[in-house]
Amino acid sequence: MGWERRLPPVAEDALELLSAAAEDSTEPDSGEGSEAGRSSGDFTKDEATAVLVADEGFTEADAEHALEVLFQRGHIYYVGDDVYITPTDD
């Protein structure tokens, strides 16, 4: 039987926010900022937490919990201190 465990709403919201932020950071930009040369979904853990906390629905504890759930379920992965969104076939 092929079923996938559903993400809790807080983790679903976090994944949507991180995905949107990753898309925004990969759009062409005429200026050279700290995001220059970064790949899609590449955040430090602090940056990922800040993206979530910037949304009024997340406290720092909520953001950390959501990142942990996303990691445990394979939706994000870590390389050192960097957070990457796991690519999907969609």
Radius of gyration of the chain (CA): 13
Q: Which two tokens stand for residue 70?
A: 């996303």
Q: What architecture does CATH give domain 9-24+40-85? A: Orthogonal Bundle (1.10)
Q: Binning pLDDT at 50, 70 and 90, where does residue 25 land?
A: confident
Domain ranges for the chain: 9-24+40-85
Is the Cβ–Cβ distance between 90 and 45 less than 8 Å? no
Residues 29-51 have pLDDT tens digits of 534 444 444 454 589 999 999 99
Q: Residue 28: what are its φ and ψ, rounded to 5°?
A: -55, 140
Three-state DSSP state, 11:
helix
pTM tops 0.85, yes or no: no
Q: Are 17 and 55 in contact (CB under 8 A)?
A: yes
The answer to whether 65 and 7 are in contact (CB under 8 A) is no
**C-alpha count within 13 angstroms, C-beta hemisphere, residue 84:** 10
